[in-house]
Structure 1
């Protein structure tokens, strides 16, 4: 395949941003066809019709590409969630159900997010991780505000702390609710019916328990029946 000279000519910031978008679009397309572990810079550059060196000019590693795609996918999901909450106005704990269901509709985001600690944050420099982490923090703050708009009993600190739990819960639940084909076949055995995990249902339950614990730790009467926990500090 002939190389695209356009990747070599990008000099202005807007041109570089356009090239980055092209790379992320190609990566997203690849992820719809193959698992994360099978994606390489070589395969990505082949899909783009350019050299591996030209891809590295915009992203230092494969994991750097995936981190950027995770940020982009998460921002798009937050846009969807915010619109859904403003239109549906669920109120109360229903916001957690809406959050879980809207996230379940974003398999690319969940796949990337669930591999964050084991894959995406490996083989990248501090210069790549820092901007990712700063964007992640802004996204979690935005998520915390959306949750508090429906659950005002949560303080700012508690809502932001909940977003930490939310990430940990997703990292654990998504792989279990999307097992490998051989495991999925085994789980069809009636004796293992309790081993099947529906992500949206389990995730909403996880968030409800987390909220109850945070409310109890904050001295809220709604959580008075639970043992007290240490009040979380702001991130």
Structure 2
């Protein structure tokens, strides 16, 4: 299975066929993420899910990390497109917007997991061109997010809104692993004396966003 590709996955020659193959690989990666952590998913496992060799996968993505960067881009765009309908309508209190932001991300564990792995996993074993392309797309999408924030918090400047998106990503990278601990940590923190060490992602992330927003508004 690792060396033979079925006829359905013969090498794509036309651009639209290449894009179709890329999306099929991303679909398989997203399905696997629902079953196991990203760190346990290899190119061979991706190929096995698709019924092709791992060589087929690297025709479209340079590495496993490249696949996950592509998937992060896709799920991030999907979230941004849905966000206006998930945030409270105007007029609304800024704190409600921040809580809705946290809740919308908590409902998307694949996006949160991939984002949390960005500096430690996804930006490794890929070329500078791949990282550059990702970061340019990330800037474009955070700029779009900043505009959505300013629509609901007009007192925030454009620069501070973009700063808020940067702080939000950095906070998520740190918080997500703590709120999704290993079974060993879950067992250990079942001790009543460690109740305060358990982390609810949506609740704490909402508080972080609210506090950051308040600080930016006060500084302005």
The Cα offsets for residues 55-80 of structure 1, whole Å up to 9 and x where unpaired, read as 11100000000000011111111122
So what's the TM-score if we normalise by structure 1?
0.88
**Unaligned regions of 5+ residues in structure 2, if any?**
none
**Structure 1 position 95 matched with structure 2 position 105:** no
The Cα offsets for residues 46-99 of structure 1, whole Å up to 9 and x where unpaired, read as 111112211111000000000000111111111221222265864422110000
Root mean square deviation of aligned Cα: 1.5
Structure showing greater relative contact order (alpha-carbon pairs closer than 8 Å, 6 or more residues apart): 2
Query: Which stretch has the larger CA shift, 187-196 or 110-119?
Result: 187-196
1:1-235 equivalences in 2 (<5 Å): 1=1, 3-85=5-87, 90-218=92-220
The Cα offsets for residues 6-34 of structure 1, whole Å up to 9 and x where unpaired, read as 43341111111100000000011111111
Following the alignment from structure 1 to structure 2, what is the Cα–Cα distance between the partners of residues 126 and 64? Answer: 11
- 8 Å Cα contact 1:93/1:151 also seen in 2: no
**Unaligned regions of 5+ residues in structure 1, if any?**
219-235
Pairs aligned (count): 218
Following the alignment from structure 2 to structure 1, what is the Cα–Cα distance between the partners of residues 57 and 150? Answer: 40
* Structure 2 counterpart of 1:226: none
SS at match of 1:93: helix
Following the alignment from structure 1 to structure 2, what is the Cα–Cα distance between the partners of residues 50 and 89? Answer: 52
So what's the TM-score if we normalise by structure 2?
0.94
Query: Which stretch has the larger CA shift, 165-174 or 188-197?
Result: 188-197
Following the alignment from structure 1 to structure 2, what is the Cα–Cα distance between the partners of residues 72 and 170? Answer: 18
Following the alignment from structure 2 to structure 1, what is the Cα–Cα distance between the partners of residues 125 and 215? Answer: 36
